[in-house]
Chains A and B, each alone.
Chain A
């Protein structure tokens, strides 16, 4: 028997095999696309075609439902692996000139004496994102916002590249190194808190997350509290707000004190 005889209506194996499979497919399709959608009393369909489209997963945009009003601005920064890659020496030089206006708080070498973040050697993506957020209003601060509001896109990129280029120096008022608290090493699995280092550089770095070693204790504590209370909201998917809300005040103190006491050279290098 040749292939032609196999795929022939005279071959009962062919007709039965295909027939049974087709019948099962048709019955399940009718059940899945027509019967079951209408069996859900909480969903109303205009007609059968509407039900079929819904069951098939066609994206339906209903114009009648208005999008919720945006009360606060959200971060609209887009970072890709190419955004800040391979800056030129000129760009870094332009950044250095622009950075003179930042030095009053962030220090002439990028190390702050004023409980502002140390920027020397910070990931470029972090400075890029925060400056954009200050400019757009997604993050606001009485001192920082007026500085950021007049920066152009290029200036922000140059500043980010300049600070990322600076060597990481010890903090201005280094404290004796503290042992790692549990909240930093392990997070709190049952409360959905990942170890800090999973994003902030000592284990792995997720784009847009700063390294924290040697930063001001008062600053980090204030930011965690601002995230917990929802005053700061430029974390796109509420990553930090969810974590900070689940942290106890003692854990916030311990994490801030620990990171402030660390030298910044343990941070994972940027590729």
Chain B
């Protein structure tokens, strides 16, 4: 029962609108630093664009998708009207205000600090305040998800929480806690300097705070995708979820081990002790567990669908799958990209191997493949699946949808595979231009050209996506019926309290944050290693 459709549509439309803008900037960036473009006479323009691209793609776009999808899940999985609609709109408008506030200084060149802030670089204070507003807006969503679940529990004592809502709330808790790191960095470190109250900053401490956010934020981006794997795909292709418990275990594992691992982003930083780096590296390896569980469960669920459709044999059932169904296509593409991206991730999380690719284009290739590829393609799938229920109109052009998904997949592979390759060859990231005329890097020119072409394929696909959704707003009206989620082979009648509530796992998440981050933060905060701030765009 989707009642507040306008609220959900507003989140999705804003998300996809800003996504379109940031995607265009991204394609321009790929082009301008490839051998196809002429060098920028002002590299600052590149960093301006990069900051806008990262801020939108990292903070605004996925947060809005998670929020809109979260509201949809809350209403349809719990079958109760959303409580706190006015608050939800407040959160939405805070994100609108925050985004505008952040984008203006970026456009003026006053905040070209990239979305990861990179202290001691300091930009205009309104950029940081804008990001804070976006986060505060999303925290309202976190609170609403928790409150709505609580209301449902009161009405259904002891009943198993629907899987989609259980996972959705787990994702919201993960976000609430992981955003605290960046919030501490902004409030304690960056904003006082940007406001002119201080002129030195402890860059090392700030980076540790940011690593608290930086890795688990990826799993927050991932949550809607995993929810779609478990609760949309099996239903859409006519199958069943292989195991409801396995799904719950995957989500609680994300809650526990996604958080205390961020220091693998600071392997090259001298301010963190090697012992803590090792612990974070080991816990990062554990994150593979919920992902592998998910891959297994979803493959099993898909096999169920194939066998129900008459598929036979050890692998012969693969042919029986509904490959013309966009949801099937999106899942397959997402898994392929997740596989390659995950394999690359094993290099990044290894303390030793990381040294060979740290701060190279490999890293940008990696997170574009995982986030832009495996995750975002499922955002598309979520939107396609929800759209008829939100608009009351049918998305007729299935062929266009399939083309769009194919193009996104091809574009992402063509973009990111050469990107990884030049990274291994040592090409650094965050550069406005490269001198491809120099014999030292001339052989990399071809790879970079492929990458840039891939960027334009992605842009084409992104435009198609927005066109499909916009046309869907004017298509003939249909009754899409109630929005349903996939059911499990064995729908749970009762669920152990540990798998039906989040308290234990949230407690473990916080405890591990304290053990893995407590001492390094305390140590850096008490040793006083501040350096002068470097102001961007101002004397």
Contacts and interface: CB of A to CB of B under 8 A. Distances in A.
Interface stretch (A166-174, A182-190, A225-233): A182-190
A132 to B, nearest CB: 16
B452 to A, nearest CB: 17
A28 B539 contact: no
Q: Interface residues of B toward A: which range?
A: 35 or more
A55 B435 contact: no
Contacts of A198: 43-44
B441 A55 contact: no
Interface stretch (B324-332, B374-382, B499-507): B499-507
Nearest to A16: B498
A270 B537 CA distance: 10
Given A13-B498, A37-B274, A195-B43, A18 B435 contact: no
Contacts of B431: 189
Nearest to B112: A204
Interface stretch (B234-242, B276-284, B473-481, B483-491): B276-284
Nearest to B539: A270
A24 interface: yes
Interface in B3-33: none
Contacts of A36: 274-275, 278
B271 A31 contact: no
A97 interface: no
Contacts of B158: 1
B271 A25 contact: no
Contacts of B434: 189
A140 B158 CA distance: 82
Contacts of B42: 197, 203
Contacts of A59: 527
A25 B539 contact: no
Interface in A253-271: 268, 270-271
Interface in B521-535: 523, 527, 532, 534-535
Contacts of B515: 25
A206 B536 CA distance: 9
B539 A123 contact: yes
B286 interface: yes
Contact of B520 (A18, A54, A57, A79): A57
Given A13-B504, A14-B504, A55 B498 contact: no
A21 B256 contact: yes
Contact of A33 (B275, B499, B508, B536): B275
B274 A32 contact: yes
B508 A21 contact: yes
A180 B519 CA distance: 52
A61 to B, nearest CB: 11
A186 B433 CA distance: 9
A11 B539 contact: no
A90 to B, nearest CB: 23
Interface in A50-104: 52, 54-59, 79-82
B435 A188 contact: yes
B43 A206 contact: no
B118 interface: no
Interface string B441-465: 1000000000000000000000000
A189 B441 CA distance: 11
B50 to A, nearest CB: 15
Interface string B277-314: 11100110010000000000000000000000000000
Interface stretch (A2-10, A142-150, A155-163): A2-10
A218 B140 CA distance: 63
A57 B538 contact: no
- Which of A13, A79, A189 has the most chain B CB within a 10 Å cutoff? A189
A6 B504 contact: yes
Given A13-B496, A271-B539, A203 B523 contact: no
Interface of B: 39, 41-44, 158, 196, 199, 256, 271-279, 282-283, 286, 431, 433-435, 438, 440-441, 496-499, 501, 503-505, 507-508, 512, 515, 519-520, 523, 527, 532, 534-539
25 contacts: A6-B504, A11-B497, A13-B498, A13-B504, A21-B256, A28-B282, A28-B283, A29-B275, A36-B274, A55-B273, A56-B523, A57-B272, A57-B275, A57-B276, A57-B523, A80-B199, A123-B539, A186-B435, A188-B435, A190-B438, A190-B440, A198-B43, A204-B536, A207-B535, A270-B539
Interface of A: 1, 3, 5-7, 11, 13-14, 17-18, 21, 24-25, 28-29, 31-33, 36-37, 52, 54-59, 79-82, 123, 125, 180, 185-186, 188-190, 195, 197-198, 203-207, 268, 270-271
